[in-house]
């Protein structure tokens, strides 16, 4: 069994993680520009601009393509995986967020001025297609630029 410490030697994995963290960090910067204040929760929240999920899978697929070849089986698998993740981020999770927003509004109207013990549903779950696209481009760019760094 390989030493678990060797996981940090996996350049493709490291680039994908860097892309994910970069996207999360950009959410914090964008929120600072938009509202003029730092909100640390944007470092760990889902949804928002850009999509960290898309940045991660975009960097992963690009890194695999650069290392194994864009005609390789590994690149094909990573690309299909990326498409599924991005579709889920922009489609299914976006729809769930809209449903949560409507349910919260219904609860607010039904229980206006009354005690309601349940937490509000999280509304910012998914991404717009533009946020997914920006995350994908960010992941690809980071993958290309960090290839020379490793």
Residue 100 and residue 122 in contact, taking contact as beta carbons nearer than 8 Å: yes
| Structural domain contains residue 150 | no
Burial letters 9-47, b for 16+ CB under 10 A, else e: eebbebbbebbbebbbebbbeebeeeeeeeeeebeebbb
| Structural domain contains residue 137 | yes
Q: In this predicted model, what pLDDT tens digit does every residue of 17-73 receive, in sequence order?
A: 999 999 999 988 888 888 888 878 777 777 778 999 999 999 999 999 999 999 999
| Structural domain contains residue 107 | yes
| Structural domain contains residue 103 | yes
Residue 47 and residue 127 in contact, taking contact as beta carbons nearer than 8 Å: yes
CA–CA distance, 23 with 121 (Å, rounded to integer): 24
Domain residue limits at 51 = 4-145
| Structural domain contains residue 133 | yes
| Structural domain contains residue 101 | yes
- Omega of the bond prior to 50 within 30 degrees of 0, cis? yes
- Would you say the pTM of this structure is higher than 0.75? yes
CA–CA distance, 54 with 74 (Å, rounded to integer): 18
> Could you give the number of structural domains in the chain?
1
């Amino acid at each position: 069994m390989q030493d678990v410490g060797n996981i940090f030697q996996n350049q493709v994995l490291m680039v994908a993680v860097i892309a994910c963290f970069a996207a999360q960090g950009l959410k914090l910067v964008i929120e600072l520009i938009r509202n003029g204040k730092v909100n640390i929760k944007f470092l760990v929240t889902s949804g928002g601009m850009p999509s960290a999920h898309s940045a991660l899978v975009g960097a992963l697929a690009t890194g695999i393509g650069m290392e194994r070849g864009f005609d390789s089986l590994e690149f094909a698998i990573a690309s299909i995986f990326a498409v599924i993740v991005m579709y889920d981020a922009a489609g299914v999770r976006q729809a769930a967020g809209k449903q949560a927003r409507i349910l919260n509004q219904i609860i607010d109207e039904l229980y206006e001025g009354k005690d309601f013990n349940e937490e509000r549903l999280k509304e910012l779950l998914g991404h717009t297609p533009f946020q997914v696209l920006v995350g994908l481009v960010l992941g690809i760019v980071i993958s290309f630029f960090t290839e020379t760094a490793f």
